[in-house]
């Protein structure tokens, strides 16, 4: 866009005054910013403005919800600071230079990160308060951990002799009718979603610990249920005006009298049920008339009763007709639906024992979860969040860290605030706990309620809505709305407004996560479209049960777009779920359309990954016949079915590999596999990943697959295999990891990108094709236990088939409403990705155009009259036959040979070898690498301890042994490695200079700390083993080396060796730290085996 066009666009921005206000560094704001309104630009501009007023950049904390978003925001901030294109960017750069921040060389000072990254940084600073080991890795979710914790929970029935404990677990099992596998599944799911119930449950657990009677617990649970129902009733009452409610009451009295049922003038839940059923059918739509079943008897014309009674019946029916018209006109449908479902919150006696058993069992389950976390040495994100909150608050009071943060963090910015979960919100409140309205601290959040689509990730839209209406306790927050759409063509913006004004409506309901539609104003007039371009179209296809005709129409649309708009325009095909895309891909392939799938195919579904998993299982479990058969049938071997039948006669890998009864070709293939397996077994000194990776290459894995992405997917598998080997390899852990990853597709020169709507959020395309919209988007779910976090209390019900709890179905129905509202927002997200055109496709299995009630298409039903409908005749296209896949295997004569470089190393790069030098073999190199990692870890740990305390015990040795085993060390190597580790650590602690380096009382003492520098146009990352400031104000940079020198090696030779090999490395470290602060630097290499400290030049 030219400067003149840009100025013209800015001049036409209707909300420019609001934008100028909210990016100001003064004041706190929550901003509702619809699709295409430029949220990232808003955040970057405010961040730059804040840089102009803070003393240190660390005073600003910007939080995003994905690494990708954090990197993009940081890139844009850095880009503005390095090459200013605005007045505010120049001002921020000037302040950086004035105060010596040197952001260009020290970009890590810009605290732009995900919430999980920030939480981990807090935990690292306060490991004792957070009660979490710094050695733990963190994962978004850990399904195998939840499963293991549930298994160990039920195993306590047999392993523990405490009668009371066993009795508690038996009672929990009785909830599941003695079905252990069902119990494990339900409890594992509860652990995965524990952030929903753990805080409300704490009150109950505390009461149990203090000996509060069970009856009191039931009262608390019943109170919560009744309070929830009462809140719904209060909302309904407030929606009705007095006159309308009076007429409804009179009609209910009349109908109840005729039916001879009790009606209590809306004093009871049943009264509201009666009102709802009076006006709605069983399908939850307005009645067209009433009859004797609803309490309105007919008006007989033969032998009528007295004339006054006839007049009264007619009058009441007329009143009912007037009221039902008014209820429809004023949009009371949702309120009446709620009335129909309302139930009492009372807990039946038959349910009480289940509640009591579960409440008493959950603390034990949480203990088991923590135990498994310790065993595996990693945690999930919720646990990381809990740990960070423990670091910030103690018994409701701010910790020293929280007070320090208050001093250091003055301004918080949060992106995508509508996706905040309850636990994340609590975390933010903990960070701001000591703020006050007069402190000068500011809060800034931007988001769009209409794009809240992450309930499955525990996002709570109510938090945005509540903050927008009520603000925050310690900060005066101003609520503002943006309306400009810089993304889409004006005609498309108008179409979106028309559609979603109807789909989303104008009413907001926080309880049901319903949002009111906020109209957008076009602000991008640079997109010029011809008058005949239809910016939004809806295509309905009848008699298309398989989706083949829809796929044909989608392919035709892609070709038409490319002809009309050119091949440069981007096209996205969006789906709500990945399961039915094979038909589209088949049609695309036939028509020569190239596509790129973005997180569409699961990694576990890639052939190369399936074969690798079978290879790992076969290598790890020699009696797994299915795994071995899979390896033998895969392209790595390729045995025929007759040969496989012969191998099925055997039970173990050894027997199968020793078989000599196969065909001539089969014998050759099996012999090659046998040789490579035996060779791999001799490499037990390698890590498990290295063993499998080498075996796969030797079997020809890199040559056995035709698709270009196989090597990329194989490399990802090896990375996950290495991760799954942490703390000891587990096959189910590996499966869990590959089952949640997606294949990488290069998609070079793709005509269309294919992805889910969730994946497309935050992206934009010239043209969007939304397909398969008449499919069920939300599966019906009837969990055994249903719970909800409501006002910090637990709303819970059991699915008891023998003694049904009405409140259980009531909660399920409530969830369906919330799911339905989120599906409306999902449709909004999909359609607002487009810049020029949107095409929506819906298909039906017959000629009846009745969309599925839980489909996206259902919300577009009011627009069916304007849709293009394909008749049965035009949809009659013969589907192609399914092509069988060709099987491929390597040549039976294939022999793997280790690759050698096809070039000679230039003499100038060759290092002279000293006469007394010895060359390590590969095994020794591996041992030295593992030793170095272990010693570095321990020195990091010791640097945080009191050096006069007991630093080593049997548990520490066990931890070392587990680490060495996980790194593939053999039983022969481990004792020697343990001895070397202990000796090197003892050497350091016995050395005066070693203790000086490890002293935790140094100023700004840190270990394993990362820094980022900007040199020669590139960002460079380094990790410093140890750094601190001594009493003379000198910054020390220490690099540990575990190198073992020959006893004949003189100290002066080691000094020479250090300067030749490490001078450049440490000088680079020094430049980065000197860019951060103006102080002298001392660089040293510390040899732990000697021990010896060697000082190097700092320049």
Instruction: For residue range 890-940, list pLDDT tens digits in order.
Output: 667 677 666 544 444 344 333 443 434 443 343 456 678 888 889 998 898
* In 682-709, alpha helices (H): 688-698
Give residue 196's pLDDT: 76
Report how far residue 1050's alpha carbon sits from residue 1046's, in angstroms, rounded to the nearest whole number: 9
**CA separation (Å) from 242 to 10, 248, 273, 332, 339?**
48, 10, 19, 15, 17
Asked if 1072 and 1039 touch (Cβ cutoff 8 Å), the reply is: no
Domain boundary among 331, 365, 399: 331
Of 53-62, 174-183, 950-959, where does mean pLDDT reach its minimum?
Answer: 950-959
Residue 577 pLDDT > 70: yes
Same domain, residue pair 708 and 827: no
**CA separation (Å) from 1032 to 544, 1002, 1036, 1078, 1082?**
81, 11, 11, 14, 11
Give residue 571's pLDDT band: very low, low, confident or very high (50, 70, 90): very high
- The SS3 call for residue 1022 is strand
Q: Is there a domain that residue 506 lies in?
A: no
Residue 1029 pairs in a beta bridge with 1003, 1035
Helix (H) or strand (E) holding 1006: strand 1003-1015
Of 394-408, 606-620, 772-786, where does mean pLDDT reach its minimum?
Answer: 394-408
Residue 418 pLDDT > 90: yes
| Max intra-chain CA distance, the chain | 127
Residue 913 DSSP one-character state: P
Same domain, residue pair 249 and 261: yes
- The SS3 call for residue 484 is strand
Residue 163 pLDDT > 60: yes
Report how far residue 969's alpha carbon sits from residue 978's, in angstroms, rounded to the nearest whole number: 11
Full DSSP string of 396-438: TEE-HHHHHHHHH--EEEESSGGG-BHHHHHHHHHHTTT--TT
Report how far residue 684's alpha carbon sits from residue 691's, in angstroms, rounded to the nearest whole number: 8
Same domain, residue pair 968 and 842: no
Structure tokens at 341: 């479902």
**CA separation (Å) from 949 to 129, 133, 955, 993, 1002?**
20, 18, 15, 18, 18
The strand pair at 834-843 and 521-522 is best described as unpaired
Kindly list the strands in the beta sheet with 1092-1096, ordered across the sheet, starting from the edge strand earlier in the chain: 1003-1015, 1018-1029, 1035-1041, 1081-1087, 1092-1096
Q: Is there a domain that residue 507 lies in?
A: no
Of 287-296, 684-693, 820-829, 901-910, where does mean pLDDT reach its minimum?
Answer: 901-910
Give residue 447's pLDDT band: very low, low, confident or very high (50, 70, 90): very high
Of 651-655, 761-765, 853-857, 906-910, where does mean pLDDT reach its minimum?
Answer: 906-910
Give residue 869's pLDDT: 92
Q: Is there a domain that residue 339 lies in?
A: no
Domain boundary among 866, 882, 912: 866
Residues 6+ apart with CB under 8 A from 936: 1008, 1025, 1040, 1042
Integer-rounded Cα Rg, in Å, for the chain is: 34
Report how far residue 674's alpha carbon sits from residue 655's, in angstroms, rounded to the nearest whole number: 11
> Bigger pLDDT: 898 or 880?
898
Structure tokens at 69: 């978003």
Beta strands in 793-887 (DSSP E): 793-798, 834-843, 868-870
Closest C-alpha among 362, 365, 361 to residue 152: 365
Same domain, residue pair 185 and 321: no
Q: Report the CATH number at residue 990.
A: 3.90.320.10
Residue 634 DSSP one-character state: S
**CA separation (Å) from 485 to 24, 28, 580, 772?**
21, 24, 33, 27
Give residue 4's pLDDT: 43
Structure tokens at 320: 């009912």
Report how far residue 699's alpha carbon sits from residue 844's, in angstroms, rounded to the nearest whole number: 49
Calculate mean pLDDT across residues 1045-1063: 85
> Bigger pLDDT: 384 or 50?
50
Beta strands in 627-705 (DSSP E): none
Q: Is there a domain that residue 434 lies in?
A: yes
Report how far residue 196's alpha carbon sits from residue 194's, in angstroms, rounded to the nearest whole number: 5
Helix, strand counts (H, E) of the chain: 39, 26
Q: What percent of the chain has pLDDT over 70?
A: 86
Same domain, residue pair 942 and 1064: yes
Residue 303 pLDDT > 70: no
Closest C-alpha among 862, 866, 774 to residue 823: 774
| Residue 98 neighbours by CB distance under 10 Å | 8
Same domain, residue pair 148 and 211: yes
Same domain, residue pair 78 and 163: no
- The SS3 call for residue 980 is helix
Asked if 1066 and 1037 touch (Cβ cutoff 8 Å), the reply is: yes
**CA separation (Å) from 212 to 229, 349, 356, 360, 1041?**
26, 19, 12, 12, 59
Residue 1015 pLDDT > 80: no
Give residue 128's pLDDT: 56
Helix (H) or strand (E) holding 785: strand 785-790
Same domain, residue pair 8 and 102: yes
Closest C-alpha among 200, 201, 271 to residue 237: 271
Residue 1052 pLDDT > 80: yes
Range of the domain at 396: 3-136+379-486
Q: Is there a domain that residue 769 lies in?
A: yes
Give residue 1010's pLDDT: 78
Dihedral (C-alpha) 743, 744, 746, 747: value to the nearest 10 degrees?
Answer: 50
Spell out the SS3 assignment of 331-384. Answer: CCHHHHHHHHHCCCCCCCHHHHHHHHHHHHHHHHHHHHHHHHHHHHCEEEHHHH
Same domain, residue pair 858 and 944: no
- The SS3 call for residue 1046 is coil
Report how far residue 732's alpha carbon sits from residue 728's, in angstroms, rounded to the nearest whole number: 12
Calculate mean pLDDT across residues 1055-1072: 86
Report how far residue 610's alpha carbon sits from residue 516's, in angstroms, rounded to the nearest whole number: 47
**CA separation (Å) from 911 to 905, 906, 907, 1041?**
11, 11, 9, 20
User: How many structural domains are present in the chain?
Assistant: 6
Same domain, residue pair 689 and 624: yes
Q: Is there a domain that residue 499 lies in?
A: no
Structure tokens at 429: 């409140």
Structure tokens at 67: 């690494």
Of 260-264, 353-357, 452-456, where does mean pLDDT reach its minimum?
Answer: 353-357
Same domain, residue pair 972 and 1079: yes
- Residue count of the chain, please give it: 1099
Q: Is there a domain that residue 502 lies in?
A: no
Residue 212 pLDDT > 70: no
Give residue 861's pLDDT: 93
Residue 873 pLDDT > 70: no
The strand pair at 793-798 and 785-790 is best described as antiparallel
471: left (phi over 0), alpha (psi -120 to 50) or beta: left
Same domain, residue pair 936 and 1023: yes
Q: Before 322, cis peptide (omega within 30)?
A: no
Residues 6+ apart with CB under 8 A from 323: 244, 247, 248, 251, 279
> Bigger pLDDT: 755 or 743?
755
> Bigger pLDDT: 540 or 884?
540
Structure tokens at 243: 């006159």
Report how far residue 411's alpha carbon sits from residue 59's, in angstroms, rounded to the nearest whole number: 6
Domain boundary among 739, 760, 789: 739
Closest C-alpha among 101, 75, 104, 78 to residue 89: 78
Q: Is there a domain that residue 528 lies in?
A: no
Give residue 735's pLDDT: 84
Give residue 911's pLDDT: 40
Q: How far is CA 891 from the centre of its chain?
A: 43
Q: Report the CATH number at residue 790.
A: 3.40.50.300
Report how far residue 371's alpha carbon sits from residue 377's, in angstroms, rounded to the nearest whole number: 10
Cβ neighbourhood burial of 711 (10 Å; 0-12, 13-18, 19+): middle
């Amino acid at each position: 866009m030219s400067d003149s066009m840009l100025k013209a666009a800015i001049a036409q921005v209707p909300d420019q005054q609001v934008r100028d206000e909210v990016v100001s560094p003064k004041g706190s704001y929550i901003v509702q910013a619809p699709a295409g309104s430029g949220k990232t630009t808003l955040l970057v501009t405010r961040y730059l403005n804040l840089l102009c007023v803070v003393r240190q950049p660390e005073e600003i904390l910007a939080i995003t919800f994905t690494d990708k978003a954090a990197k993009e925001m940081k890139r844009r901030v850095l880009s503005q600071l390095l090459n200013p294109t605005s007045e505010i960017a120049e001002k921020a750069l000037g302040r950086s230079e004035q105060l010596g921040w040197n952001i260009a060389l020290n970009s890590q000072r810009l605290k732009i990160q995900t919430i999980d990254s920030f939480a981990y940084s807090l935990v690292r600073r306060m490991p004792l308060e957070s009660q979490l080991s710094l050695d733990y890795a963190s994962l978004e979710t850990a399904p195998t951990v939840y499963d293991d914790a549930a298994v160990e929970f039920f195993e306590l029935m047999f392993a523990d002799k405490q009668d009371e404990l066993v009795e508690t677990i038996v009672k929990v099992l009785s909830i599941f009718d003695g079905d252990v596998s069902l119990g494990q599944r339900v409890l594992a799911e509860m652990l995965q979603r524990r952030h929903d119930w753990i805080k409300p449950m704490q009150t109950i657990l505390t009461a149990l610990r203090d000996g509060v009677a069970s009856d009191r617990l039931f009262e608390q649970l019943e109170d919560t249920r009744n309070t929830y129902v009462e809140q719904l009733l209060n909302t309904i009452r407030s929606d009705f005006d007095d006159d309308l409610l009076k007429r409804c009451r009179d009609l209910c009295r009349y109908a109840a009298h005729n039916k001879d049922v009790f009606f209590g003038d809306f004093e009871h839940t049943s009264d509201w049920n009666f009102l709802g059923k009076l006006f709605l059918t069983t399908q939850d739509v307005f009645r067209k008339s009433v009859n004797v079943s609803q309490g309105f008897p007919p008006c007989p014309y033969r032998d009528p009763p007295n004339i006054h009674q006839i007049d009264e019946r007619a009058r009441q029916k007329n009143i009912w007709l007037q009221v039902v018209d008014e209820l429809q006109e004023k949009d009371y449908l949702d309120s009446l639906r709620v009335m129909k479902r309302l139930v009492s919150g009372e807990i039946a006696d038959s349910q009480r024992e289940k509640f009591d058993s579960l409440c008493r069992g959950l603390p034990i389950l949480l203990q088991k979860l923590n135990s498994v976390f310790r065993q595996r040495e990693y945690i999930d994100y919720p646990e990381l969040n809990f740990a960070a909150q423990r670091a910030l608050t103690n018994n409701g009071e701010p910790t020293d860290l929280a007070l320090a943060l208050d001093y250091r963090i003055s301004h918080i910015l949060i992106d995508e605030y509508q996706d905040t979960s309850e636990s994340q919100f609590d975390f933010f409140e903990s960070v701001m706990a000591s703020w006050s309205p007069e402190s000068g601290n500011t809060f800034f959040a931007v988001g769009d309620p209409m794009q809240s689509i992450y309930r499955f990730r525990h996002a709570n839209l109510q938090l945005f809505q509540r903050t927008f209406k009520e603000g925050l306790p310690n900060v005066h927050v101003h609520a503002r709305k943006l309306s400009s759409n810089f993304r889409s063509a004006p005609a498309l913006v108008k179409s979106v407004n028309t559609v979603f004004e109807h789909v989303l409506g104008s009413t907001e309901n926080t309880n049901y996560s319903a949002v009111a539609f906020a109209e957008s104003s076009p602000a991008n007039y640079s997109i010029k479209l011809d008058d005949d371009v239809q910016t939004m179209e809806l295509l309905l296809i009848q008699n298309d049960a398989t989706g083949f005709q829809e796929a044909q129409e989608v392919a035709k649309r892609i070709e038409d777009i490319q002809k009309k708009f050119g091949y440069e325009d981007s096209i996205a095909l969006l789906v709500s779920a990945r399961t039915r895309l094979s038909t589209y891909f088949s049609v695309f392939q036939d028509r020569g359309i190239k596509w790129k799938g973005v997180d569409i195919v699961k990694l576990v579904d890639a052939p190369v990954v399936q074969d690798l998993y079978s290879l790992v299982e076969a290598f790890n479990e020699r009696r797994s016949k299915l795994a071995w058969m899979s390896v033998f049938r895969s392209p790595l071997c390729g045995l025929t079915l007759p040969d496989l039948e012969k191998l099925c006669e055997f039970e173990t890998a050894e027997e199968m590999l020793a078989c000599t009864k196969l065909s001539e070709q089969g014998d050759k293939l099996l012999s090659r596999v046998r040789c490579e397996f035996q060779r791999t077994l001799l490499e037990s000194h390698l890590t498990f990943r290295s063993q499998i990776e080498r075996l796969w290459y030797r079997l020809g894995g890199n040559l056995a697959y035709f698709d270009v992405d196989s090597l990329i997917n194989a490399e990802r598998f090896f990375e996950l295999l290495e991760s799954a080997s942490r703390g000891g390899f587990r096959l189910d852990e590996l499966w869990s990891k590959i089952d949640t990853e997606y294949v990488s597709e290069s998609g070079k020169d793709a005509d269309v990108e294919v992805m889910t709507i969730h994946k497309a959020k935050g992206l934009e395309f010239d043209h969007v094709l939304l397909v398969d919209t008449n499919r069920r988007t939300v599966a019906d779910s009837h969990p055994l236990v249903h719970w909800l976090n409501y006002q910090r209390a637990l709303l819970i019900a059991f699915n008891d088939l023998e003694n049904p709890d009405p409140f259980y179905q009531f909660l399920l129905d409530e969830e369906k409403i919330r799911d339905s509202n989120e599906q409306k927002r999902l449709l909004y997200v999909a359609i607002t990705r487009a810049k020029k055109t949107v095409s929506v496709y819906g298909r039906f299995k017959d000629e009846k155009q009745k969309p599925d009630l839980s489909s996206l298409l259902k919300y577009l039903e009011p627009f069916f009259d304007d849709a293009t409908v394909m008749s049965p005749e035009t949809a009659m296209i013969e589907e192609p036959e399914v092509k069988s896949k060709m099987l491929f295997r390597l040549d039976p004569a294939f022999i793997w040979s280790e690759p050698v470089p096809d070039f000679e190393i230039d003499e100038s790069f060759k290092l002279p070898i000293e006469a007394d030098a010895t060359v390590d073999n590969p095994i020794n190199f591996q041992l030295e690498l593992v030793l170095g990692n272990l010693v570095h870890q321990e020195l990091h740990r010791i640097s945080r301890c009191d050096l006069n305390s007991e630093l080593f015990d049997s548990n520490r040795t066990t931890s070392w042994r587990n680490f060495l085993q996980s790194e593939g060390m053999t039983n022969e190597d481990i004792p020697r490695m343990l001895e070397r580790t202990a000796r090197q650590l003892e050497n350091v602690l016995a050395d005066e200079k070693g203790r000086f380096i490890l002293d935790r009382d140094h100023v700004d003492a840190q270990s394993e700390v990362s820094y980022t520098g900007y040199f020669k146009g590139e960002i460079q990352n380094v990790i410093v083993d140890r750094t601190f400031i001594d009493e003379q104000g000198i910054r020390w940079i220490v690099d540990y080396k575990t190198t073992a020198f020959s006893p004949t090696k003189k100290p002066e030779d080691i000094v020479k060796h250090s300067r030749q090999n490490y001078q450049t490395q440490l000088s680079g470290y020094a430049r980065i730290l000197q860019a951060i602060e103006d102080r002298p630097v001392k660089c040293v290499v510390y040899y732990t085996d000697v021990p010896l400290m060697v000082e190097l030049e700092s320049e």
